[in-house]
Structure 1
Amino acid sequence: MAFFRSIALSTFVAALFVTAVFAQSRTEGIGPANQYYPVHDFHDDFQVYDEATKAYVPYIVEQHADQTALSTYLDLESNRHYNLLISTKQDGYLFINASLKRKLRAGEWSVFSIDSLYRVYRQPEVFLTLYGAPGLNDKRLFIGYPKSATQKLVVLRDDNLSVRPRTFSVYNNFFGLGLLFLLASHAFLFSFYHRAFLRFYSLRDLLSLRAQEESFLINRPLSSTNVLFILNLSFVVAYLIVFVQSRNLDVFVSRRLLGAQNLGAVLGEFIVLSGLAFIVLMGKYIALEVLGGLYKLQSIINIHFFKVLQSSMLFFTTLTLLLVVIAYNTASMTWSESALLLPVLVFYLMRLAFLYIVIRSQEPIKNLYLFSYLCIVELIPLIIGLRFAL
């Protein structure tokens, strides 16, 4: 009996020792100076490119031990406020979305802020590739959270449970409030400027080549009525820009222009964008006045500006409503720049041709003058806009 008791006691002590050793190793953490808690280990997530199937397949030690490039997807949205930690035993390279980003020094940890990666790439996830020595043991890839100097050590359990921030979008509340605001602004114009509203939002009136030059909307482009409708169009354009930004598509080359992190900042961006759109629309009328004087088209300038407003109101309002309906009914839909850019390009080219027909029917003018006039006021701003946007 004493013999069995000694064996049981020795086994119990050994178990306690092993548990203590493993617990200690887990609390030490990972990364530089073990300053990070591991949130996720990509050891079992790596993929390799298979030439036979022309696709990425899961890494299998028996089949892919000689592979030098291992890839995996990194979910940026679900891992905000964490860090990406990379280490290789031999020199290697890090590729993000098939683009070389950094050389990995042997035995050194490279730490990336996932928030910074999200601000740079504006995508829900990115594709990482570690290139270096063959095999899986050469590469270590983790998502970690930095330890606090005043924080008590936490023993990480083997159940792999981790606390992550809830995924949220700062745009959700804004879109609801924005739609209510646009509904209220359109309702205001419909109630107090009923005749003008029906005229601006009439497709039949837009396609009419013979505009009513004596109309109160055409004779006074900068009247209070027209200015209110221009301001309302500015709200619609600003809402559309914020919507496109929320789909992780950069409207401007510099990502610092639109990078709000809370509802108040998004509302501020909406107000600024509305002001910029209003200034551009009003500036366009001034440009038409100047060029109209040079080309002796003063009698057609107001009709030209009215047709531009009519077409823009119908198109951008319809496009905004269509995109919002699609977004709310297909939450998992992948948005692309080409899918959003194509209808805008088609609209501007069709409007350019339509304006040529309208002006040609109103004024006896040489085609060369008319083409140069329309290129300056319609086509060149479009080309410049496409150069610096999207």
Structure 2
Amino acid sequence: MEGTIDISPALFRDIAITISLLLLATYAVSRIVFPKMFAATYDFSKFLNFKLKDEFGSNLRLLSTESFYFTLILSASLSFVLLILIYGLNQIGEAAFVSWLIPTGFWAGLLIWLGVTASFQLIFLIKYLFIALVGVLFNLPASTSRHFQEVQSLNNCFVLAVTLVCTVVIYSNFMIPQILINGIIIVTLIYLLYRSLNIYLKLEQLKLYSKLYIFSYLCSTEIIPAIVGIKLLT
């Protein structure tokens, strides 16, 4: 098929299974070594609650070792999901614009995964610094970073769920079903909109933020990047 980059389904499956095993082992070790922190980070009840609680954004201290560790797991999981998505798009000839992310060998695949993981980690750092800068410009208190932590907590839960779904599919198929690709894109779009609404309502309840700040933050760091990202993948 024109625009499709040749890669053995068996090769990609080996790469994906290896990465998924590394991720699952990391999640398991984290659950055993940091039980309380793990439970707080992957608290799915936050998806069902729009009310502000005392622990809003207070699970992890930003730029701490614990925050870096769980953000790294998030980045690695996101990288895995992205590679699955790109491989699925490549099957239908829609991944030519990111052909450099299609592995040509087993070790090349792992290196690409690590490289994309590092890129996501850098993006999260830049995003935090940007939010901190906006807080300074709007002369808001230092506690404004709490919403970034809340966003990351929701991200951790969502990406974990998608990672588990992708893992099950990889274990049972050599090819990525088109329904999975469409499902990831549609569910991600719904999640991003829901997350923006969730965070907006919680930020408003803090009584520390102007509506202008909340709107500017969500547009510049959440909504616009999400629309651009979804557009590129469709």
TM above 0.5? yes
Report whether the alignment pairs 1:174 with 2:57: no
Query: Partner residue of 1:57?
Result: none
How much does 1:274 deviate?
0.5
How much does 1:352 deviate?
0.3
Superposition CA RMSD, Å: 2.7
CA contact (8 A) 2:88 2:176 kept: no
Extract unaligned runs of 5+ from structure 1. Answer: 1-75, 77-116, 125-166
Query: Partner residue of 2:103?
Result: 260
Report whether the alignment pairs 1:226 with 2:67: yes
Distance 1:216 1:349 in 2: 23
Distance 2:176 2:76 in 1: 26
**1:210–1:257: structure 2 CA closer, same or farther, 3 Å change rule?**
same
1:360 partner amino acid? E
Distance 1:189 1:293 in 2: 35
Distance 2:42 2:130 in 1: 24
Larger radius of gyration: 1
How much does 1:285 deviate?
0.8
* Cα shift readout 1:99-157 (whole Å, capped 9, x = no counterpart): xxxxxxxxxxxxxxxxxx4xx23599xxxxxxxxxxxxxxxxxxxxxxxxxxxxxxxxx
TM-score, length basis structure 1: 0.53
How much does 1:223 deviate?
0.4
* Cα shift readout 1:241-287 (whole Å, capped 9, x = no counterpart): 11112224478662332121211111111011110111111111111
How much does 1:375 deviate?
1.1
Report whether the alignment pairs 1:301 with 2:144: yes
CA contact (8 A) 2:71 2:121 kept: yes
Query: What is the correspondence of 1:83-232 to structure 2 with a 5 Å cutoff?
Result: 117=2, 120-122=3-5, 168-205=9-46, 207=49, 209-212=52-55, 215=58, 217=60, 220-232=61-73
Asked which structure has the greater RCO (Cα within 8 Å, sep 6+), the reply is 2
How many residues align? The count is 229
Distance 1:376 1:237 in 2: 21
**1:387–1:321: structure 2 CA closer, same or farther, 3 Å change rule?**
same
- SS of 1:221's partner is coil
How much does 1:290 deviate?
0.8
How much does 1:387 deviate?
4.1
Over the matched positions of the two proteins, sequence identity in percent amounts to: 21
**1:305–1:186: structure 2 CA closer, same or farther, 3 Å change rule?**
same
**1:383–1:298: structure 2 CA closer, same or farther, 3 Å change rule?**
farther
Return the structure number with greater helix share. Answer: 2
TM-score, length basis structure 2: 0.85
Return the structure number with greater strand share. Answer: 1
Greater Cα offset, 252-261 or 341-350: 252-261
